[in-house]
Structure 1
């Protein structure tokens, strides 16, 4: 049995996916504990903050997606050792988390309220953050967000881009990213072409 257990929902994406990808890319064995949504109400109380992802490493529990990402990134060589590049990596992940903190609550809203809130976000926060991420990417060389190489931050942004472009978010235009932050589309394609990521999803039977 692996010394690592990552618990997250049973779908390909979201806050737990960057850590899954990083571990797979680093060749680090882990127990991929996938929670079906139907089982979540029963399992929620067993998590420290009533939320996922949760990482257990050698019997010790870690929560909060970006803390998990940093730990896993260091474990797999996907987190910068240079202090400034590490800060850029953190900045990127925290910006994505700001967006996730607005997106996730809308998933549990009544339809009318969800529509109104998401349309408000499309007119305000979403393009603001997407443009800023796009500019940061350009400022850091145009290929990756930190360290001039693929890091855990790139995995987190790629999962965000996939969420925005997939059509899973009702009332959010699937071409929003392309219109306001085209560099993020190119970045997503670049990340998803990584041989380790392609192999991971091929094994899962998922097209990328």
Structure 2
């Protein structure tokens, strides 16, 4: 598990081997079963999470039981609930595995120490934050102004590999459309 992460760090940041080893050594490996939670809404997000392999989802469930998926996090990406993590307050979202997943965790104090001690790692973290802000803005614009067909086309364009990994109900929950609408869109596309 650490080998994949170390390769990721070597290719994503200009880090010396000693720094890569230090970051890896402080990681807590965890194996998740399908649908296993890292934390639930109401709990505090206490860790930075790196997905070595597998797929996670960040979501909120309404009182009526409807799920709204904010984000999918595939292998070789990071995730967390930023507000809960930064402010150490209960989260409004849950993070759970969509499929069996291997992850690495760093407690907030440990991660902050790494950022202070390894400037190149801090630079990587800042670049990831910038990319995440850009991606979130693009997603919001698509969700707010796109038709269901445009939302689905954007999803396919950005995440072509997810179609075979996700049930339709999760894709619909991510797009903010009903499963009936998603089924209609897919049926129309297949007839073309």
Q: Same fold (TM over 0.5)?
A: no
TM-score (norm 1): 0.27
TM-score (norm 2): 0.28
Structure number having the greater helix percentage: 1
Structure number having the greater strand percentage: 2
